[in-house]
Amino acid sequence: MIDTDGSAKSFDIQYVSREGSRPGRDLLAVEEPMEIRLGFGAEGSRQARSLSITMRTPGNDFELAAGFLFTEQIVTDPAHVGEVAFCGPPAPGRETSNIVRVELGPEVEVDLGRLQRHFYTTSSCGICGKASLDAVAAQGLRELDRERPRLSGEVIHRLPDLLRGSQPVFERTGGLHAAAVARPDGTLVHVREDVGRHNAVDKLLGRFFLDGQTDLGDSILVVSGRASFELVQKALAAGLPAMVAVGAPSSLAVDLAERYGMTLIGFASADRFNVYTGHGRMI
């Protein structure tokens, strides 16, 4: 049985321990494909292009589509996005489709060559094969103010527990990643969950994008897993000056954060954290 919000599904299982086994039920996070389609062109000559297929946890699908377009710098102005809607038949057992179509305004110019190179994504690896600092630099990301905002170690220590306490689907399933935007005082603004790390970030930043907020230069991105290259790239697209991860960063993530002046923190917990780049913001 799938939850009404589509995020979790119940399964018959066997619980096994040293004392024996017994039947039971377990609630697991749902993972389903979602296709993002893009509508563009002048009236009378509109085109539609399949842009991405990603494995995600259903929920906040419009935010996911908008966040993907924004963090990949395909669309940088919320005013260029028209209707965002489901299309195609409903997914099995649910009322909505697994296809989201984003309509761009007729004045928006689209690089067809670039669209042709985009994207097959998976829940585990993000956008595979794009691990190139030069390719990211070509997207027009800007260097950050390397001194602001100031970050308190006391707040950094609190952020992982604050994030963990704001994950309702993880609480039920134990199977989802989460991402949050926090203020320097530790206040969580928005939290999103998904089976994929990059999807959680796209949903999160998609919410801000749809609200007209494309520069989060006064905020911190907090993620429940490791800090990968593609997550740092997405954070930079939104102007986020700091990322706090519960897990380890990759070497390329550190290189990218250093190049653009981001504070990158890994292994964050109530007891410790490592500052890999951007030490100048710490107080």
CA distance 85 to 106: 17
Q: Of 234, 278, 227, nearest to 253 (Cα)? A: 227
DSSP 176-193: -EEEEEE-TTS-EEEEEE
Catalytic, 125? Answer yes
Q: Of 80, 64, 104, nearest to 204 (Cα)? A: 64
Contact 28, 170 (CB under 8 A): no
Q: Of 122, 129, 74, nearest to 102 (Cα)? A: 74
- Residues, the chain: 283
Of 1, 87, 112, 125, which residue is the catalytic one? 125
Q: Of 8, 37, 68, 49, nearest to 209 (Cα)? A: 68
Q: Of 176, 168, 181, 219, nearest to 197 (Cα)? A: 176
CA distance 230 to 126: 7
Interacting residues of 60 by C-beta distance below 8 A, sequence separation 6+ = 192, 203, 206, 207
Q: How far is CA 234 from the centre of its chain?
A: 8
Q: Of 224, 265, 226, nearest to 242 (Cα)? A: 265
| Backbone φ, ψ for residue 208 (5° rounding) | -65, -40
Contact 75, 90 (CB under 8 A): no
Which positions are catalytic? 125
